[in-house]
């Protein structure tokens, strides 16, 4: 039986995270937990690139369609819900597979800075900033001095353990268990990735994303969900301030820029091994890594 092992698939938009997640779920007896800030909203299917009904039949998905358009959803909300779902799946002896590109959500889950609720976020970030500049020797000396134990001596685990000590037990009765995360990043040559993004936007137009965007524009223009890329760019078009072609190009441009920001976040803020989705041995190289991790 696997204990506390969780897979995490991250990467830029349109790189192929959904497909890999489904492949791994089928191979490893897993279920998928969405790590996307927009897919939580009911009625926003096309613009958020939510797994289709056929895809959801291939692998069970969680944390999609759990909020109304008028509701907000934060990193704290995500971590609480994801931790509950992870615990449930592990109890059922399923492999939890987090799939998503919202860097803040993924980092919050993996590194645990939700502890104590949102009001402690700034204090947690200050502590993390202080700990991150310490040398390995200084960091591990703190672990030893505080009488803490971690499964293996790496910086991420050490910092997380010190954060848990300071903000966890005293602030929350039920501190989230320390899961063993396997982080898998997907990437592709930038020109190819941008081409895929442009093609995805064209497919979304054909699939009816304008209907979703118009619904937001007419009925919910101020809600959090309306600020998502793939929706807000069409508001000037609906208002008669720009043409459709210009709005579509704006979606493509903003999506490409978002992909670049996603990659920067994951590469600079988290220790993730990246795989090129166009390499000859992909996805077998990922399957091999995951099998080693789970065993």
Q: Give residue 127's pLDDT.
A: 80
Beta bridge partners of 34: 99
Nearest CA to 48 out of 121, 101, 118 is that of: 101
**Residue ranges of the chain with per-residue pLDDT less than 50:** 1, 115, 169-176
Query: Which residue do the tokens 């109890």 mark?
Result: 91
Domain map of the chain by residue range?
Answer: 5-118+177-188+264-294, 119-175, 190-262
pLDDT, tens digit, for every residue of 172-202? Answer: 434 445 789 999 999 999 999 999 999 999 9
Binding residues for substrate: 13-18
Does 3.40.50.300 match the CATH number of domain 5-118+177-188+264-294?
A: yes
Binding residues: 11-18
Q: Give residue 236's pLDDT.
A: 98
- Residue 4 phi/psi, 5-degree rounding, is 60, 25
Binding residues for ATP: 11-18
What CATH number is given for 190-262 in this structure? 1.10.287.890
* Angle of helix 75-91 versus helix 103-111 axis, rounded to 10: 60
Buried b (16+ CB within 10 A) or exposed e, 58-86: bbebbbbbebebeeebbbbbbbebbbebb
CA–CA distance, 151 with 272 (Å, rounded to integer):
19
Q: Give residue 173's pLDDT.
A: 37
CB-side neighbour CA atoms (13 Å) of 54: 1
């Amino acid at each position: 039986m696997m204990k506390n092992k969780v897979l995490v698939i991250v990467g830029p938009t349109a790189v192929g995270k959904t497909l890999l997640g489904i492949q791994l779920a089928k191979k490893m007896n897993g279920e998928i937990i969405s790590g996307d800030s927009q897919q939580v909203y009911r009625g926003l299917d096309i613009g958020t690139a939510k797994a289709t009904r056929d895809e959801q039949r291939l692998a069970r998905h969680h944390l999609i369609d759990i909020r109304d358009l008028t509701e907000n959803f934060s990193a704290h909300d995500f971590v609480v819900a994801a931790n509950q779902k992870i615990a449930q799946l592990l109890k059922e002896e399923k492999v939890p597979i987090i799939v998503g590109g919202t860097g803040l959500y993924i980092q919050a889950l993996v590194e645990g800075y939700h502890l104590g609720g949102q009001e402690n976020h700034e204090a947690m970030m200050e502590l993390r900033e202080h700990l991150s500049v310490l040398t390995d020797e200084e960091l591990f000396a703190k672990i030893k001095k505080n009488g803490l134990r971690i499964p293996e001596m790496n910086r991420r685990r050490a910092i997380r353990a010190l954060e848990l000590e300071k903000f966890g037990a005293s602030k929350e009765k039920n501190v989230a268990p320390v899961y063993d995360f396997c982080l898998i990043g997907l990437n592709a040559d930038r020109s190819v990735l941008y081409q895929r993004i442009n093609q995805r936007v064209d497919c979304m137009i054909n699939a009816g994303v304008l209907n979703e965007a118009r619904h937001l524009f007419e009925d919910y223009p101020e809600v959090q969900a309306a600020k998502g890329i793939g929706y807000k760019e069409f508001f000037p078009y609906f208002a008669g301030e720009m043409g459709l072609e210009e709005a579509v190009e704006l979606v493509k441009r903003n999506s490409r820029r978002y992909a670049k920001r996603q990659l920067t976040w994951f590469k600079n803020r988290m220790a993730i091994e990246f795989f090129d989705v166009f390499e000859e041995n992909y996805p077998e190289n990922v399957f091999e890594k995951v099998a080693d991790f789970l065993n």
